[in-house]
Structure 1
């Protein structure tokens, strides 16, 4: 999979001046008066820092470009504020964000000239403080000195984490590119969630400033007791109405989503095939170092650690005499602890691995994801009570990152299907939302936010460390990769077992795509060598030059790289193309399967393949785009027929499959992988 990232990195490395310009524009855009709310500079600059750490960019020019952009953005904002003064407040769209301007004015009054430096690092006011300084008539020379120094510090703060992350991933990549890819994907998921939350808070919500009040007024005009209760508790003047509204909306979204997902994991549904494809994808990315990291993470989410944190937090809340919140917390955890095994027994969905007994032997939903989401989600709700919205966002970000990482570890280690983890996170979020809705308005129970946070972290560290010290080595053995290989005899395969193999390619989303018309056991080099005699060849690899062929209208079909396709989460081991006279091309892909053929005491890998025809579309004569126009080849166009001894079989739907045994590339029977588990055999059909 890493070959798909190479063109992007190569392009950036070959065009460092363009990368510098992008960083300049991003840094300047975020500093522009209010416009900065809409500019995702953090994404760009952390990404640029990561590329610096990976050795793809030179740090000096990128640092200079970014600093100049941040300086120019603040200077423009200062000029706008200095020129238009208070008229800005009545201009669209600034009047939609009046609270931002007011916050900036209050910040400037509190900190004076140094607010230009401090404000650059404070979310919510950094895009307005320079403009406020201009409106207040701050001396330009003084402003410029503070502007430049703060831009340098801001650039270091934004690019530094990316450089560290890139250097770490680069070092890991020297050990294992697959491990670097897994950790990079996890960091990307967490980072995107944080950025989406930031945009929701700063941009989306202010666009509807009157919707909240209008809805509440509608309920207030009704005479029913429920309507009056809603109007009273969700009144914008109520100090906690926004939190209750957010909790109610989350509850209304997550619970229906959970039950919808539960229906999607029934046998034969698309989600089941998607789960298997994603499991295979992660299995192909596993490394010993990655296993050690993920076992460490997943062990912190084990039941004994969750129980310890629950008991300590509950005891602390009762000791503080926060009776209602303590009771609600214990009830929420108890209900969740009963809910997980109940639904496991109700659905009887097998795990990818056989890990536990009784109800926990089943898979849906993930107990780790559910219990940790409820436990740490409720702790976060208690800790952020009455804090500023940015403090709340920070606490929830850390909590979400921790819980998501635990869920990610369950999928990576093969302990759960992806849908199990998603279901657990959905139900856990629903329980946290219900707790926040019911107990959020309580203001006469003080829990000691900092003390509670310290207790949670300390308990997790102490009990988690104790648990890991006694079980880590055993857990490594428990979660070690299992082979899913199944052995077929050569005669059994040719006589009828071939029909048990997948008939169509399965995408990562679970959709069934083109028919698999080749079943081949043997050497891939031997297959390629035989096919080359009939005009088949390996396609060009992805690079900046080959990717440029897509934007040229006269690129030959055999000069265009192949678009990636996976089969059940696996990447093809062999791809061949053959140009035809009509200006298109045939594409053969061979994917590894979970089957091996036993022939004369030796094992050979069995590959599944598709042969599709692509027409090269050339809109306006300026582009070259491959489009599949034939998913099943004519019998004579199947390159597997070129192999000696190839036989043709026909499926019930009329599709013809070519079975072929090529030159030997075998492993001794003694080196065969272990048979797969009962759960894997049941699901991987």
Structure 2
């Protein structure tokens, strides 16, 4: 680190020289005589990292690195025209085996090898030499040489540029966002395993099901009783047989699509009914929104802003225009009208749903403010309908089974990411996104029906063996233009951020703190994520602020729990495996009034192990007592051990834990007054993990100095 600190000022002092050094190493790395041993790519990546720190201009570096690469390849190409005598197996660097490898690569890939070879190890410096040796035309060579040089320079410098931000990534991965990112990686890993299983076992499973189906149907047909029943109802079985006919759209295709449409419609009706009746999904909405708020991170917010941009009107319309032109150019015009109808219908019905339900957005947690109503999510609707249609089109054109699976998994990931971005940014509830998906799938099915009926009526056109070069070039240019438009839109997309979520500041309760629960209709029990009632609150603390509260717990011998991060979770797992002490191990979040707890404190048991500990979760309320004391509510319990090897088991006697905490606080000397009163009816119950508890229903009210 000391060497780097001394080196960077020198680099800054010789900044102009640095650009020429990058040109030189890029030239040497592409030179047939020395490119095998010169680590030019490493130097270019390092330069990109220094550009991120402000020591170089990234755009200028790309020019210098690309020009060096062009010159190096040009020299190698010129040398290649004078023969292969430079390469001998006895040489330490210019071995004949390298030349043979380069010749094989050039023969296999032709002119493309100039571009591709730039990025491939030891043949990088050999390919231009082989091109000259093979008599390749200079104009053709330099065209691919220049294109590949700029691509190589940009990719390596950008890799270094983002590598220069690695320290920020370390901060992210050791924060709450790290937990979130780890969950996403685990999901991706499990999805990859599922895809691999389908690739390997899917065909066999389908063949087995098909064989069983044929065997069962043949056995039924051969049964004389079944034959008599069929003979007595010829119209019904004729109709049923027609519905299973694969040769007509009105047969099996329309049957399957009709069943899918009806099932999706019923699911959407269920979501609407749940919202109107305030069923459990609405309870999940609020708690999931608060849970995602708990794991919010600025870097992830910026990433999801890019993803949510794909559902914005101008991006969707530009992609729709691109698809229309490509369908026309590639003679797939039967997809144009269904695609546009799917987009227009899903957008219109999403708008009508918002007007009909007038559902408000999640209060107080949105990264930015959306002007429209919440249900259904327009982004989720468009993602399922429009982007789903694009996936359907690509799936229809793909010939390989593996390609089709990749399209389905990749398209599903994109659609889910767009919907999840709305949840993470706090602008939609879960039921909004689910309702949007279902509405979008309805219109996707309609679009598929329109295409399939047309293809069955006119006969599906065979795919062309190869599109003319001008069509491929035009298509590539249009797609590139669309990508540039999306990137520029993303760079300009910076919605005004809302202020951080905060608790209200003025709900006075005088000195009757318990009475404030009835006055302001606050719940007296904690909740699961689905809103199911858990253990009751059993302590209320009144303090000036969080600082005085933390000071009182410290004086009482309790320590604040560490935040939930990758590092603290790993440390907890290590302590659990070794049955060791970790007095500030993180506490899993819990819900009260739809919110995650704001703080947690803990105290070790005499066993001095992370498996057992006294813990309290606290929520900051908007209640104020006389003298502007802030009211905090909480639950105290004992982690009495582990269950299933995964989670703590709660002790049954939560009243004893309440009394023990009150005693500790009194001994700490920061309590000015305390009293215990009946808060709920005595009862026993179970928490979300199935652990039983009992309580006399009392609650302690503690005034902190």
TM range (shorter): 0.5 to 0.7
Verify: 1:607 aligned to 2:632, yes or no: yes
Tell me the equivalent position of 2:316: 306
Q: Give the superposition deviation at 1:381.
A: 1.0
CA distance in 2, matches of 1:547, 1:212: 49
Tell me, yes or no, if the aligned pair for 2:307 and 2:421 is still in contact at 8 Å: yes
Q: Contact 1:575–1:590 (CA<8 Å) still a contact in 2?
A: yes
Q: Which residue of 1 aligns with 2:619?
A: 592
Over residues 459-489 of structure 1, what are the superposed CA-to-partner deviations in whole Å (9 max), with x where a residue is unaligned?
652443454455x23x1x1456443544434
Deviation at 1:368, TM superposition (A): 0.6
Cα distance in structure 2, aligned partners of 1:320 and 1:529: 72
Gap change, CA 1:519 and 1:286, over 3 Å in 2: same
Q: Does 1:633 align with 2:658?
A: no
Mapped contact 2:354–2:375 kept (Cα < 8 A):
yes
Alignment check: 8 A CA contact 1:332 1:435 kept? yes
1:574 aligns with 2:574: no
Distance 2:311 2:164 in 1: 29
Q: Distance in 2 between matches of 1:447 and 1:518?
A: 71
CA distance in 2 between partners of 1:512 and 1:495 (Å): 19
- Say whether 1:444 aligns with 2:460: yes
Cα 1:483–1:539, aligned 2, differ >3 Å: closer, same or farther? closer
Q: 1:401 aligns with which of 413, 431, 456?
A: 413
State the Cα deviation string for residues 8-67 of structure 1 (Å, max 9, x = none).
Answer: xxxxxxxxxxxxxxxxxxxxxxxxxxxxxxxxxxxxxxxxxxxxxxxxxxxxxxxxxxxx
- Aligned equivalent of 2:532: 511
Q: What is the correspondence of 1:536-575 to structure 2 with a 5 Å cutoff?
A: 542-548=571-577, 564-567=588-591, 568=594, 570=596, 573-575=599-601
Count of matched residue pairs = 480
Find out whether 1:464 has 2:495 as its counterpart: no
Give the Cα separation in 1 of the matches to 2:285 and 2:301.
20
1:528 corresponds to which residue?
Answer: 553
Q: Deviations over 1:478-530 (max 9, x none)?
A: 45644354443462762632444332222334333211222224334334245
Residues 505 and 547 of structure 1: is their aligned pair in 2 closer, same or farther, counting only changes over 3 Å?
A: same
Shift of 1:288: 3.0
1:431-452 per-residue CA deviation (whole Å, 9 max, x = no partner) reads: 4345445534725357989969
8 A Cα contact 2:380 2:437, kept in partner: yes
8 Å contact 1:521–1:661 — kept in the other structure? yes
Structure 1 counterpart of 2:204: 206
Q: Secondary structure at the match of 1:351?
A: coil
Q: Does 1:232 align with 2:245?
A: yes
How far apart in 1 are the matches of 2:379 and 2:498? 15
Contact 1:377 1:399 in 2 (8 A): yes
What's the counterpart of residue 645 of structure 1?
A: 673
Q: Distance in 2 between matches of 1:401 and 1:631?
A: 46
Offset, 1:385: 1.3
1:630 is paired with a residue whose SS is coil
> In 2 relative to 1, CA 285–234 (structure 1 residues): closer, same or farther, beyond 3 Å?
farther
**Equivalent-residue separation in structure 2 for 1:358 and 1:627 (angstroms):** 41
CA distance in 2, matches of 1:573, 1:356: 23
Distance 1:283 1:617 in 2: 28
Partner of 1:23: none
Equivalent residue for 2:702, pick from 655, 660, 678: 660
Q: Counterpart in 1 of 2:392?
A: 381
Go from structure 1 to structure 2 and tell me whether the alpha carbon gap of 1:415 and 1:460 turns closer, same or farther (over 3 Å shift). farther
Kindly provide the CA deviation profile for residues 192-243 of structure 1, in whole angstroms up to 9, marking residues without a partner as x: 34443443453356324243466585899875454233322189xx9x98x9
Corresponding residue SS for 2:381:
helix
TM-aligned CA deviation for residue 547 of structure 1: 0.6
Aligned counterpart for 1:496 among listed residues 505, 512, 515: 515
CA drift at 1:350: 1.5
How far apart in 2 are the matches of 1:182 and 1:166? Answer: 21
Offset of residue 640 of structure 1: 4.0
Q: Secondary structure at the match of 2:632?
A: strand
Q: TM-score, normalised by structure 2?
A: 0.56
Determine the C-alpha separation between the residues in 1 that align with 2:537 and 2:352.
Answer: 40
Q: Are 1:258 and 2:268 an aligned pair?
A: yes
CA distance in 1, matches of 2:646, 2:437: 43
Contact kept? 2:527, 2:590, Cα under 8 Å: yes
Q: CA deviation at 1:347?
A: 3.1
| 1:358 to partner: Cα distance | 14
Per-residue deviation at 1:367? 0.6
Question: C-alpha distance in 2, partners of 1:565/1:403?
Answer: 29
1:119-268 → structure 2 map (5 Å cutoff):
171-174=168-171, 177-204=175-202, 206-212=204-210, 224=236, 226-233=239-246, 251=261, 254-266=264-276, 268=278
Deviation track 1:85-108 (CA, whole Å, cap 9, x = no partner) reads xxxxxxxxxxxxxxxxxxxxxxxx
Q: Following the alignment from structure 1 to structure 2, what is the Cα–Cα distance between the partners of residues 572 and 480?
A: 18
Deviation at 1:415, TM superposition (A): 0.6
2:502 to 465, 483, 503: 483
Change in CA separation of 1:467 and 1:168 when aligned onto 2, cut-off 3 Å: closer
Please report how far the alpha carbon of residue 416 of structure 1 lies from its aligned counterpart in structure 2 after TM superposition: 0.6
In 1: Cα distance, 2:658 partner to 2:309 partner: 55
Scaled by the length of structure 1, the TM-score of the pair is 0.58
Partner of 1:296: 306
Q: Larger C-alpha radius of gyration, 1 or 2?
A: 2
The separation in 2 between residues aligned to 1:591 and 1:462, in whole angstroms, is 49
